């Protein structure tokens, strides 16, 4: 993050209208990828990963809060 803040440059990664995503996804489909199932799986896994990270963050905050309360 520090290196990016120092000399990084943000650029548009994808066109606002999605660019050629429909064509790319169609190619995935032609290659035998079930795009709808893949999207569902990625959303499910992403939700689980977010919930896990959130829970870990809350545990760390609670632990730090308890440590500060004991020190006071």
Domain with 64, as residue range(s), is 2-71
Nearest CA-CA partner of 42 in 50, 30, 32, 54 = 50
Number of domains the chain contains: 1
CA 38 to chain centre: 16
Please name which of 50, 51, 29, 54 lies closest in space to residue 39, comparing C-alpha atoms. Answer: 29
pLDDT score, position 9: 85
What is the predicted pLDDT for the residue at 51? Answer: 97
What's the DSSP call for residue 14? S
pLDDT of residue 36: 95
The pTM for the full model equals 0.61
State the pLDDT at residue 11.
Answer: 82
Place of tokens 């730090």: 64
Contact 35, 29 (CB under 8 A): yes
Q: pLDDT per position in the chain (72 positions), as tens?
A: 888 888 888 887 778 888 898 999 999 999 999 999 999 999 999 999 999 999 999 999 999 999 999 998
């Amino acid at each position: 993050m520090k290196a990016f803040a120092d000399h990084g440059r943000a650029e548009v990664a994808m066109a606002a209208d999605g660019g050629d995503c429909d064509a790319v996804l169609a190619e995935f489909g032609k290659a035998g990828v079930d795009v709808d199932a893949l999207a569902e799986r990625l959303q499910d896994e992403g939700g689980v990963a977010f919930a896990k990270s959130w829970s870990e963050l809350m545990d760390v905050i609670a632990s730090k809060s308890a440590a500060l309360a004991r020190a006071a």
